[in-house]
A and B are shown apart, each in its own frame.
Chain A
């Protein structure tokens, strides 16, 4: 413990010394670490960040369901479902292959331009749709890995009780699959949250654009630091929450029965 503390102090001390001794340090410090500006800028940028929060909350809720659906479609066995599986594969290949920013640009600019009756023309709407499309492809692969990690004997046991294919999936296979993929699922969700900044290419004044506007006004990068802090601030609680979920599940299964 003492060694750990000492080595940590020495390491970061040396790092801080080197960085602050660099020739451009004073200018760097003035550009990124203006604390009074930080406090002043925070409320405005945090308000813009609410747009990002809205986008990722909606997108995550939708992706949880659509990705599961896609993974299940791709796991359907037998020759009858070949076209379904093929479609699912094409979808995944396509939306994992195209850069997210391109999907956002194409849908966000293209769909409103169609001026179709009943088709929303909000950039935020289409940006959210784009993120859903892309992340459905990623997350469905995570789910699929989970589904395939559940041993076939579990399905056999469920089917031998007379459960239908769907009931076995719903009550036996998926609950185990989802528990196993919670960490990588969270990984993708953090990625999605960060990718809401890509919506800025459509001109929506969300967190990144707001920080950029502020930066352009007084040529100070502290506004970007505010944006960065906000992203980190929402990621950390999510990570700890997931750790807690996993630990709780493990406790329940191994350290004694807690009736629910």
Chain B
């Protein structure tokens, strides 16, 4: 009987000859916030996409709340409706208003009635300061607003687990804070989250645990203070040194 929210065992994933994930083992406890850091191409995004079953895996297991979601004959649609993911490029539906973006999943995947889905969406939009945007179309919103809508869209499914894939990387610097604020709030509320990020001070601030991904493996993991103050692995030290040199920490 496993108590972890998410358990990944020996996950391998290749694209053609390129082995992107080379044996990932990772566990998340309920209400835990884990940040994945590492250079571009280290496999952070691929790992998140594998967990959401957007990419078929080559070997290993992913267990969500005790259920092996990588087993054959799993209903992938049901699994996905319980895992929220927010993408770097927002991926809002441009032909739908904010409200329609947020209610689509609850209505079609969870089969909620219109009134209930709208109620759920309105409440969430209000909570994240987007109440007056509900009838706007995504093209009319700032990047920060779009990403907040994307987070609300994921939350409207009431997921067990939220995956954030570099959610601030496509944003202008002055819009980063409003999105990180939302994530911070979710962490406080106890949302279980796995966050791939380049925002080191944010990771340090919000994460219970930080994992350093390098060349498809988790090279080092630990409490934020340990990883950022006293990294043990030379590769971690190197990576963080480059971030410090770039003035990003």
What is A's interface to B at a CB cutoff of 8 Å? 153-154, 156-164, 167, 171-172, 175-176, 179, 252-259
Contact with A along B91-103 (1 / 0, CB 8 A): 1111101000000
A176: contacting residue among B52, B94, B154, CB under 8 A: B94
In the complex, besides A161-B81, A171-B108, A252-B137, 6 extra interface pairs with C-beta distance below 8 angstroms are A153-B89, A154-B93, A156-B91, A159-B77, A160-B80, A253-B95
A159 CA to B166 CA in the complex, in Å? 19
Given contacts A159-B80, A160-B52, A171-B108, contact A153 B137 (CB under 8 A): no
User: Residue B105 at the A interface, CB < 8 A?
Assistant: yes
Given contacts A161-B109, A171-B104, A176-B95, contact A254 B140 (CB under 8 A): yes
What is the size, in residues, of chain B's interface with A at 8 Å between Cβ atoms?
32
User: Residue B212 at the A interface, CB < 8 A?
Assistant: no
A154 CA to B139 CA in the complex, in Å? 15
B91: contacting residue among A153, A164, A175, CB under 8 A: A153
Given contacts A162-B78, A259-B97, contact A157 B108 (CB under 8 A): no
Q: Using Cβ atoms and an 8 Å threshold, which residues of chain B touch A258? A: 135
A257: contacting residue among B81, B110, B140, CB under 8 A: B140
Complex contact A162–B94 (CB within 8 A): no
Complex contact A154–B91 (CB within 8 A): yes
Tell me how far the C-beta of B160 lies from the nearest C-beta in chain A, rounded to whole angstroms. Answer: 12
A156 CA to B140 CA in the complex, in Å? 22
Complex contact A156–B109 (CB within 8 A): no
A162 CA to B111 CA in the complex, in Å? 11
A179 CA to B84 CA in the complex, in Å? 28
User: Residue B153 at the A interface, CB < 8 A?
Assistant: yes
A167 CA to B105 CA in the complex, in Å? 10
Complex contact B93–A179 (CB within 8 A): no
Tell me how far the C-beta of A233 lies from the nearest C-beta in chain B, rounded to whole angstroms. Answer: 33
6 sampled A-B residue pairs with Cβ under 8 A:
A159-B77, A162-B82, A176-B94, A176-B95, A256-B136, A257-B97
A158 CA to B210 CA in the complex, in Å? 29
A179 CA to B79 CA in the complex, in Å? 31
Tell me how far the C-beta of B109 lies from the nearest C-beta in chain A, rounded to whole angstroms. Answer: 3
Given contacts A160-B85, A162-B105, A167-B108, contact A179 B95 (CB under 8 A): yes
Q: Which of A159, A161, A171 has the most CB of B within 10 A?
A: A161
User: Residue B228 at the A interface, CB < 8 A?
Assistant: no
A172: contacting residue among B84, B87, B93, B135, CB under 8 A: B93
A253 CA to B95 CA in the complex, in Å? 7
5 closest Cβ pairs, A-B complex:
A162-B81, A162-B109, A161-B105, A157-B91, A257-B135
Specify the chain B residue showing the minimal Cβ separation from A167. Answer: B108
Complex contact A175–B97 (CB within 8 A): no
User: Residue B157 at the A interface, CB < 8 A?
Assistant: yes
Complex contact A163–B94 (CB within 8 A): no
User: Residue B249 at the A interface, CB < 8 A?
Assistant: no
A257 CA to B93 CA in the complex, in Å? 14
